[in-house]
Chain A
């Protein structure tokens, strides 16, 4: 489903070049559950951003569902993101002035989905993530765990094949983090592909496949 070949990502900082990803090659099959771990600054987020088509590699080839997406225009990339990829971030990234419901609705709104269909999906997502009573609350009126549930519901609203989560529990206490992981894993159980970046070895080890990245290169790729 996903095939990365010799992906390079470099950043120029002043005169220096920072190598965030060096020659990363990675195959991810549909329905896999994969964790990415590694020290801070090793390139985990960079890899996830490339996977999520938020960032373009400097070199290498990226195939998604058999299609080469390396050369797509920004607008084509936006469309692929909208349809195939759901993001979950460490800092939730909810729009502060919008209610939980409106935040969940955003991707569907951008995709121009019919309001009736949106309502239908919203009701289902709100129930599924236990947010019915919070639908009209704004993010500052929600707990961290609730915020992340809203973010997950938002990621799922377009029913994407791939969920990418960058330290989704990084801002949550242990217990809430576990709950959020359980929700993400439920998505995987439902057939979705799940990629989680985490610092937490215990959480990382729950994944069937564990990638370790150091200094921009994959140094381990373990499977149960």
Chain B
């Protein structure tokens, strides 16, 4: 028997009993949708918490001038004397640590950005090529700041999506020269929309080489140094190294603060993840219930279709073919139910997202894969018994009207 015939035949059965089919699709759909929605809620909560507490990134350390006794939270203010500034050379020296993968110096200021007659006041960030990777930024067009010695600057800049929109409208921005303060910069890249990062809306910033920013804002001092550790495990090591290197460079004085995403956040992450898994698992029980429903409906269907099964056997269907017919039916139902469920789940997630726009609801990938897969597997498993029963039917008995 050909696969297309098998599908056609199963399809004829499903179409022949619409309400039965609709019922099963509904049950399967609800199960899958429940898993998707519930796990989106869990995942949304997790991501929300992580975003709030740790817009830092897991391997990221932030070095800021001034000593603060609080660790992990917002940097406290230094009491007493003004701290020594962190310079570009300080930042470059951090690269010596073996736990550090990359560093990116950061200067922040506000500048008037001009193009033709338009002016916008936006945050201007001064950094280096490394910032792209350290902050996991993405470009929608062009390139990021070119690599090279951070002491020297090239007159180039990368602009956020909103800046591009407001200054250039529908016109091409790449290659255009804009003016920030009294300096001219050529637009080489445009950031992809990403939302918040380090307290800035990346849509609204202009990024220039760090040396240009120093000149623009007339300062040597870095606002922050972003340090990426080689791995999550190396974060503590990197922190120790950073403190040590800067202490040595600052005449034995510990006058910087290093913020890392601390253990609390990791624990939060674990708890929320476990919670998501748990509620997702509970929702998956409804898939099991849907599986049992499929089994019952199929068993009834075998009884109702005794004559048909007997006839199929009389005209030469093997047991394997009879089983395949029932499996195909179950698989189509489960796939259909899975699709319905994913669609309903997605709609539900979007709806809830409308109600709470700040929380990033979206189902974790495992839920999107696991829910329909569970649906198909349960459906096929639960149709084993009905399929067996059908295949074992004695054709003579099935055809007789006794």
Contacts and interface: CB of A to CB of B under 8 A. Distances in A.
Given A95-B308, A97-B13, A87 B315 contact: yes
A81 B315 contact: yes
Given A91-B401, A110-B1, A75 B318 contact: yes
Interface in B295-319: 307-308, 310-319
A6 B320 CA distance: 32
A111 B396 CA distance: 21
Contact of A78 (B12, B16, B310, B318): B318
Given A78-B316, A81-B314, A82-B316, A110 B321 contact: yes
A106 B9 CA distance: 10
B13 to A, nearest CB: 7
A: contact size bracket: 20 to 34
B314 A87 contact: yes
A102 B399 CA distance: 19
B395 interface: yes
A54, A83, A89: most-surrounded residue (chain B CB, <10 A): A54
B: contact size bracket: 20 to 34
Contacts of B313: 54, 78, 81
Contact of A109 (B5, B319, B320): B5
A7 interface: no
A93 B311 contact: yes
Given A93-B307, A97-B16, A112-B1, A82 B319 contact: no
A89 B400 CA distance: 10
B312 A110 contact: yes
A75, A91, A106, A111: most-surrounded residue (chain B CB, <10 A): A106
Given A54-B396, A93-B311, A75 B5 contact: no
Nearest to B314: A87
A115 B318 CA distance: 20
Given A87-B314, A93-B399, A95-B311, A75 B320 contact: yes
A176 interface: no
Nearest to B5: A109
A83, A98, A107, A109: most-surrounded residue (chain B CB, <10 A): A109
A107 B5 CA distance: 12
Interface in B189-215: none
A45 B313 CA distance: 17
A86 to B, nearest CB: 8
B311 to A, nearest CB: 5
Nearest to A151: B311
B130 to A, nearest CB: 62
Interface string A98-140: 1000100011011110010000000000000000000000000
Interface in B1-22: 1-2, 5, 9, 12-13, 15-16
Given A55-B396, A93-B307, A93-B399, A74 B316 contact: no
A126 to B, nearest CB: 18
Contact of B314 (A54, A79, A102, A111): A54
Nearest to A90: B401
Interface of B: 1-2, 5, 9, 12-13, 15-16, 307-308, 310-321, 395-396, 399-401
16 contacts: A54-B313, A54-B314, A75-B319, A75-B320, A78-B313, A78-B318, A78-B319, A79-B316, A81-B314, A81-B316, A89-B399, A95-B308, A97-B15, A106-B311, A111-B1, A112-B1
Interface of A: 45, 49, 52, 54-55, 74-75, 78-79, 81-83, 87, 89, 91, 93, 95, 97-98, 102, 106-107, 109-112, 115, 154, 158
